[in-house]
């Protein structure tokens, strides 16, 4: 299929083979990814219609951690672009027989694939694959390091609802210590001019985060009136060896976004969450489903961002 007119302005502007993080991207590269994602949304009725731009190409989802949104979104994005999709399952693969991850990846690569989408609990795994394979690698989350497409879809959602990010104050609240989403958001938001606050218990938000140029707070009620956006991060109990606070009830009392706190927030505050959400822990049901919530918009934007990334890394990349 020939490149449709709405994508013509973007052809050849992307030069990277992989998408591994937002830390290494420039503000222009991040803006390009967002612009292409927005173009896909507007030209396909919110990514509902197919555009067979990657017909004949194959994408493999190599996931070593559980996932609902990210895995489904990558699969659907590839299919919307006409690519074939292979779903890899670690539990039923030769990894259980002792094969290394790299040997498994090289075996899959030998089947003439084009893109490898990788999620792994170990930071740096997508980078290692990118250095040893001849296919494009997309990081779908590597431990607590980065989750670039989640960061992009969060930023795209803010841009759609609040316009230019310059001067906006975005607070991420919750388990910052274990959050790859937080790191990708910090890099992306700051490069586009937003002011970032990380907020949560001191056991999950250390003062070391100030080295990233962000403001650190342990008091949600104190920062709330200044925030244009709240991104409520899940407490990742599965990555913790000890409980970082005395009880879930106490955490909810201090950090959950509820109707009482909404009354003290800006009238147009945007409520976000990367999901999955724990209702009653980070956010109450009435806020999660309320008029300020854009949580499901984020999910739809994930599809657009992943279509944009896959197209730019293959058909849209400079030769």
Q: How many domains does the chain have?
A: 2
Digitized pLDDT (tens) for each residue of the chain, 319 residues in all: 788 999 999 999 999 999 999 999 999 999 999 999 999 999 999 999 999 999 999 999 999 988 889 999 999 999 999 999 999 877 667 777 778 999 999 999 999 999 999 999 999 999 999 999 999 999 999 999 999 999 999 999 999 999 999 999 999 999 999 899 999 999 999 999 999 999 999 999 999 999 999 999 999 999 999 999 999 998 876 666 667 776 888 999 999 999 999 999 999 999 999 978 889 889 999 999 999 999 999 999 999 999 999 999 998 787 7
Q: Which residues of 212-226 are buried (b: 16+ CB within 10 A; e: fewer)?
A: eebebbbebeebbee
Other CB atoms within 10 A of residue 143 CB: 17
Is 97 known to sit in a ligand binding site? yes
Q: Is 50 helix (H, G, I), strand (E, B) or coil?
A: coil
- Domain ranges, residue 276: 149-299
Does 259 carry a binding-site annotation? Answer: no
**Per-residue confidence (pLDDT) for residue 317, from 0 to 100:** 83
- CB-CB neighbours of 184 under 10 Å: 27
Sequence-ordered list of residues with C-beta below 8 angstroms from that of 89, at least 6 positions apart, any chain = none
DSSP string, 151-174: HHHHHHHHHHHH---TT-EEEEES
Q: In this structure, are 168 and 281 located in the same domain?
A: yes
Count the neighbouring beta carbons within 10 Å of the beta carbon of residue 36. Answer: 24
Maximal C-alpha separation, the chain: 59
Total Cβ atoms within 10 A of residue 245: 16
Residues 60 and 130 in one domain: yes
Distance CA 73, CA 63 (A): 13
Residue bearing tokens 């396909």: 44
pLDDT at residue 237, as a whole number: 64
Give the per-residue pLDDT at 238: 65
ω into residue 276 within 30 of 0, thus cis? Answer: yes
Please return the burial class of 253, using the count of CB atoms within 10 Å of its CB with bins 0-12, 13-18 and 19+: exposed
Q: Identify whether residues 209 and 130 lie together within a single domain.
A: no
Q: Is 276 annotated as a binding residue?
A: yes
Residue 74's pLDDT is 97
**How distant, in Å, are the alpha carbons of 55, 184, 220, 255, 284 from that of 251?**
49, 24, 11, 6, 13
Q: Name the residue with tokens 């919307």.
A: 80
Q: Is 306 annotated as a binding residue?
A: no
Do 75 and 128 share a domain, yes or no? yes
Same domain, yes or no, for 162 and 258?
yes
The tokens for 130 are 């990118």
Helix (H, G, I), strand (E, B) or coil at 258: coil
Residue 9 and residue 115 share a domain: yes
Residue 84, φ and ψ in degrees, nearest 5: -80, 145
**Residue 318: predicted pLDDT:** 77
Number of H helices, E strands in the chain: 11, 9
107 assigned ligand-binding residue: no
Same domain, yes or no, for 134 and 243?
Answer: no
Do 122 and 207 belong to one domain? no
C-alpha to C-alpha distance for 191 and 25, rounded to whole angstroms: 9
CATH number at residue 100: 3.40.50.1370
Same-domain status, 135 and 189: no
Residue 147 is assigned to a ligand binding site? yes
> Are 132 and 206 found together in one domain?
no
Of 47, 72, 81, residue with least CA distance to 312: 81
pLDDT score for 247 = 82
The distance of Cα 155 from the centroid of its chain, to the nearest Å, equals 9
Count other Cβ atoms within 10 Å, centred on residue 280: 14
Is residue 178 domain-shared with residue 97, that is, in the same domain?
no
Task: Give yes or no: residues 183 and 290 share one domain.
Answer: yes
207 annotated ligand-binding residue: no
């Amino acid at each position: 299929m020939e490149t449709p007119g709405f994508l013509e302005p973007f052809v050849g502007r992307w030069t990277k083979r992989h998408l591994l993080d937002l830390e290494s991207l420039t503000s222009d590269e991040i803006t390009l990814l967002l612009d292409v994602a927005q173009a896909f949304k507007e030209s396909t009725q919110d990514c509902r219609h197919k555009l067979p731009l990657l017909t004949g190409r194959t994408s493999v989802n190599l996931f070593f951690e559980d996932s609902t949104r990210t895995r489904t979104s990558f699969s659907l994005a590839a299919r919307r672009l006409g690519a074939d999709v292979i779903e890899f399952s670690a539990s039923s693969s030769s990894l259980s027989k002792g094969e290394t991850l790299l040997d498994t990846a090289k075996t899959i690569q030998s089947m003439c694939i084009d893109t490898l989408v990788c999620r792994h609990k170990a930071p740096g795994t997508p980078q290692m694959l990118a250095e040893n394979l001849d296919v494009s690698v997309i990081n779908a989350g590597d431990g607590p390091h980065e989750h670039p497409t989640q960061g992009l879809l969060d930023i795209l959602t803010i841009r759609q609802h609040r316009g230019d990010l310059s001067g906006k104050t975005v607070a991420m609240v919750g388990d910052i210590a274990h959050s790859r989403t937080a790191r990708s958001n910090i890099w992306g938001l700051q490069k586009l001019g937003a002011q970032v606050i990380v907020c949560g218990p001191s056991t999950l938000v250390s003062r070391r985060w100030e080295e990233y140029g962000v403001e650190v707070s342990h008091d949600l009620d104190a920062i709330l009136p200044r925030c244009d956006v709240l991104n409520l991060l899940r407490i990742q109990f599965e990555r913790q060896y000890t409980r970082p606070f005395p009880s879930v009830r106490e955490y909810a009392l201090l950090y959950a976004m509820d109707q009482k706190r909404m009354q003290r927030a800006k009238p147009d505050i945007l409520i976000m969450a990367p999901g999955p959400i724990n209702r009653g822990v980070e956010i109450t049901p009435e806020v999660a489903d309320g008029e300020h919530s854009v949580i499901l918009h984020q999910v739809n934007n994930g599809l657009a961002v992943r279509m944009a990334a896959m197209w730019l890394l293959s058909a849209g990349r400079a030769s």
